[in-house]
Amino acid sequence: MIFNTISIIGLGYIGLPTAAMFASKKKKVIGVDTSRYVIETINAGKIHIVEPKIDKMVKNAVNEGFLNAKLEPEPADVFIIAVPTPFLPAQDKNSIPQPDLTHIKSASKSVANVLKKGDLVILESTSPVGATEQMSAWLAEARSDLSFPHTHGENSDIRIAYCPERVLPGNVVNELIENDRIIGGMTEKCSKASIEVYKTFIKGGCFTTNSRTAEMAKLTENSSRDVSIAFANELSIICDKLDIDVWELINLANLHPRVNILQPGPGVGGHCIAVDPWFIISNSPEDSILIHTARKVNDGKPNWVIEKIKSAITDVLSNNPRKKIHDVTVACFGLSFKPNIDDLRESPAAEITKILASLNICKILAVEPNILHLPSSIPNSVELVSISEAINESDICVLLVDHSEFKNLSKNDLKNNLIIDTRGIWT
Ligand code: SAJ
């Protein structure tokens, strides 16, 4: 497929780096986003996300004229849709969250306005099985003058594929280039055209399948990790009751050549692992027993940590009879959803700190070396402090995120504090 102009719809954590990659290969890229702030930031050669290397790439791409951001799609040869697919919150604690495809629907409608015969539309957003066929139907609804693969197969005017991203936040540029890629064309021609597009910058292999398998593959990868982490989290709860060091246990079990247990923590955060399994569960609720249980185990872990903190507070009070509960200080080490990043969204560490503060039983300090100010989602009563202030002023130190800065602390530094270590770096 010969293509000159590529349009990326949705300039977030996946869309913007992808746009920058194509532009760095001297392809004309039109980036589209509904946020005026995002458009203005990018067209000024700046970025609105935190991701290494992207700032320089975007600056060069904009200065050299290869990347242009717009509020509405313009004609292009290839459209890559990378918009969010959140889930609709569950109605009650027994109902299953349902995927929200509103953004894909509106992106399809706006792309449909500028589609021409021969164009390729690729969906990259994490999606439930069947979303690509649904997108094809939405496009067809808007453009009865064109034919689409769900009705016309290989003879369709428009090619459509599902090609999920699998990059790790913090290492997006390298993984975009090096990772193998799944190419789920609705027909073989759709897959072939997509491979030619991605081979512009991808060094990894491109493996073709149909769109439904590609959708399921993305959900499977993240659900597999969620289930594995749930196993580690469940072990940590069992071991706590049995007075066994779970990290020593896992290290020992992992010496077995066919065992590879992941690490327990305060819960599973981020925008992918804790979300994507729901797309399988909502499609097949009766058959997703293990995947659903894993979600419950991981979602339940923050509450278990809160209970541990409450019982540590009781210990502090019984060891210091003159202390009142409001004199007890708890320091939460780390707020982000994983180590060495500043992203606090969907973070179990931030959630635990928030819940603890809302209980209003004692003073809460927070240490987060990757931010300068606490976000508004954390109650005002929480104070952001340095590592040494947290150690000196608190009775209880709760390790929530294994940031490098915390790994350097020795047992001696923490000898006067009661420790709850959800990551196993101080034990
Ligand atoms: N976590 C644990 N224990 C572990 C590993 C992770 O508790 O042993 C926790 C982390 O602390 C974090 C959460 O899991 O709260 C998710 O972190 P992560 O590093 O596992 O994954 P993400 O969300 O940053 O990125 C994942 C990746 N998927 C897989 O590894 C299968 C990435 O490759 C995907 O592209 C990304 O989701 C996505 O966009 O879907």
What tens digit of pLDDT does each residue of 29-61 get?
Answer: 999 999 999 999 999 999 998 888 999 999 999
Helix (H) or strand (E) holding 348: helix 348-359
Position in ligand 1 atom list of the atom nearest CA 13: 39
pLDDT band, very low/low/confident/very high, at 342 (cuts 50, 70, 90): confident
Q: Is 229 in the pocket of ligand 1 (CB under 6 A)?
A: yes
Decide: 363 and 330 in contact? Cβ < 8 Å: yes
% of the chain beyond a pLDDT of 90: 92
* Residues 416, 8: Cα–Cα separation, whole Å: 54
d(CA 329, CA 325): 9
Residue 161 bridge partners (DSSP): 122, 185
Tell me which residue of 279, 292, 407, 420 sits closest to 349, measured CA to CA.
420
Instruction: Compute CA 326 distance to the chain's CA centroid, rounded to the nearest angstrom.
Output: 37
Contact 11, 42 (CB under 8 A): yes
- Which position has the token pair 């499609």? 283
DSSP one-letter string for 128-148: -TTHHHHHHHHHHHH-TTS--
Task: Choose the catalytic residue: 27, 218, 338, 354.
Answer: 218
Please give, one letter per residue, the 3-state secondary structure of 274-303: CCHHHHHHHHCCCCCHHHHHHHHHHHHHHH
pLDDT at residue 296, as a whole number: 96
* pLDDT score for 248: 98
**How many angstroms separate the alpha carbon of residue 250 from the centre of ligand 1?**
19
C-alpha 160 to ligand 1 mean position (Å): 28
71-105 confidence digits (pLDDT tens) = 999 999 999 999 999 988 777 877 898 999 999 99
Q: What pLDDT sits at residue 169?
A: 86
Q: What is the pLDDT of residue 250?
A: 98
- The verdict on the CB of residue 337 being under 6 Å from ligand 1 is yes
H/E element, 185: strand 181-185
Q: What is the pTM of this model?
A: 0.94
Q: 297-327: per-residue pLDDT in tens?
A: 999 999 999 999 999 999 999 999 999 999 9
Percent of the chain at pLDDT above 70?
100
Q: Are 78 and 3 in contact (CB under 8 A)?
A: yes
Is the pLDDT reported for residue 119 higher than 90?
yes
Q: Is the pLDDT of residue 132 over 90?
A: yes
Residue 389 has pLDDT above 80, yes or no: yes
To the query of whether residue 218 is one of the catalytic residues in this protein, the response is: yes
| First-to-last C-alpha distance (Å) of the chain | 57
The residue among 87 and 369 whose pLDDT is bigger is 369
In the predicted structure, residue 399 carries a pLDDT above the cut 90: yes
pLDDT for res 341:
86
Are 181 and 204 spatial neighbours (Cβ–Cβ below 8 Å)?
yes
* Contact 265 CB / ligand 1 (< 6 Å): yes
